[in-house]
């Protein structure tokens, strides 16, 4: 749905558009002269004349994006930013018209604004997704114009044309089919219930949290008792190899303890067997030793 401005804003937009359309067109030679004056001397008067003559291009391009539900005035402002960026970077020695060069910058600025403001959910994070966002409606309209509905074959054709996955086309199609909705919006008029009241909370409930804490404390106590039955050297190897985020290598432990890495491996294997036996004697149900997935 297109955005509808209030009457005062509409009048201001109309005045600006009329002024832009009345700006004189530049001859090729004069255009390059203005660009050189700005580039070489920082002549702001030349910059103003160069930019003003192409505000009509901004208006024309901004008008193409009105159907995204954003204010025309904002689209024009963003396009003008792109126009200024183009003027800053334009090189008259390349012998291309400023309008050709500026078109890319104007379009990019407007499209970035649309993507940032069309939805509170970020859209088009990659170049391919951005192309999909701005071309899906046009390509879908072409398919439907031939009397066909957009089916799986049509989505595959669009995906191939734009270099994206079919799933990306399906996801974008869903995004474009509906607007954002507030979770605080009432379900119906005069209703006290909000949409968020019907969202499932996938977090564990308080009872599960308490049970998990108690189980964790029990496992820690069992492990502490089992480690207490090991020798100092065995405990050191088990802690360094299995109870720390960064595992110490056999070779490093061997150098620290003054033994070979093969001897460390043997002690480690023996200590693990001891732990297994000790823990097994403490717990009736062996599954209690493991965290639930």
The class that CATH gives domain 206-289 is mainly alpha
pTM attached to this predicted model: 0.54
Measured distance CA(12)–CA(98) in Å, rounded: 27
For residue 2, what pLDDT is reported? Answer: 54
Measured distance CA(101)–CA(95) in Å, rounded: 10
Q: In sequence order, what are the residues at sequence separation of 6 or more whose Cβ sits closer than 8 angstroms to the Cβ of residue 26?
A: 34, 49, 50, 53, 98
Measured distance CA(101)–CA(106) in Å, rounded: 9
CB 58 within 8 A of CB 106: yes
Q: Give the architecture-level CATH label for domain 1-118.
A: Up-down Bundle (1.20)
User: Which sequence spans correspond to the domains of the chain?
Assistant: 1-118, 123-179, 206-289
Average pLDDT over residues 95-110: 93
Q: Do domains 1-118 and 206-289 have the same CATH topology?
A: no
Reported as a single tens digit per residue, the pLDDT across 212-244 is 677 778 778 888 888 888 999 999 998 889 888
Average pLDDT over residues 266-280: 89
Average pLDDT over residues 167-186: 70
Reported as a single tens digit per residue, the pLDDT across 255-264 is 999 999 999 9
Burial 218-256 (b: 16+ CB within 10 A, else e): ebeebbeebbeebeeebebbbebbeeeeeeeebeebbee
Give the pLDDT band of residue 183 (cuts 50, 70, 90).
low
Measured distance CA(175)–CA(179) in Å, rounded: 8
pLDDT at 80 over 50: yes
Measured distance CA(57)–CA(30) in Å, rounded: 18
């Amino acid at each position: 749905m297109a955005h509808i401005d209030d009457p005062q804003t509409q009048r201001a937009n109309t005045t600006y558009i009329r002024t832009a359309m009345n700006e004189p067109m530049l001859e090729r030679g004069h255009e390059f002269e203005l660009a050189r004056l700005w580039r070489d001397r920082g002549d702001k008067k030349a910059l103003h004349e160069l930019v003003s003559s192409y505000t009509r291009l901004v208006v024309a391009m901004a008008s193409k994006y009105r159907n995204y539900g954003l204010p025309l005035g904002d689209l024009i402002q963003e396009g003008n930013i792109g126009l200024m960026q183009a003027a800053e970077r334009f090189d008259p020695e390349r012998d291309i018209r400023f309008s050709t060069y500026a078109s890319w910058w104007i379009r990019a600025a407007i499209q970035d604004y649309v993507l940032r403001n069309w939805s509170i959910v970020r859209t088009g994070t990659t170049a391919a997704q951005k192309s999909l966002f701005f071309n899906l409606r046009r390509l879908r309209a072409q398919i439907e114009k031939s009397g066909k509905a957009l089916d799986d074959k049509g989505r595959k054709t669009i995906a191939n044309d734009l270099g994206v996955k079919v799933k990306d086309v399906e996801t974008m199609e869903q995004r474009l089919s509906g607007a954002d909705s507030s979770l605080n919006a009432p379900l119906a008029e005069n209703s006290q219930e909000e949409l968020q009241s019907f969202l499932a909370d996938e977090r564990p409930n308080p009872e599960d949290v308490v049970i998990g804490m108690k189980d964790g404390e029990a496992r820690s106590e069992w492990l502490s008792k089992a480690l207490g039955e090991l020798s100092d050297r065995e405990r050191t190897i088990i802690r360094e190899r299995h109870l720390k985020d960064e595992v110490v290598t056999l070779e490093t432990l061997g150098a620290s303890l003054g033994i070979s890495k093969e001897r460390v491996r043997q002690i480690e294997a023996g200590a693990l067997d001891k732990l297994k036996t000790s823990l097994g004697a403490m717990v009736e149900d062996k599954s209690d030793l493991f965290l639930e997935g």
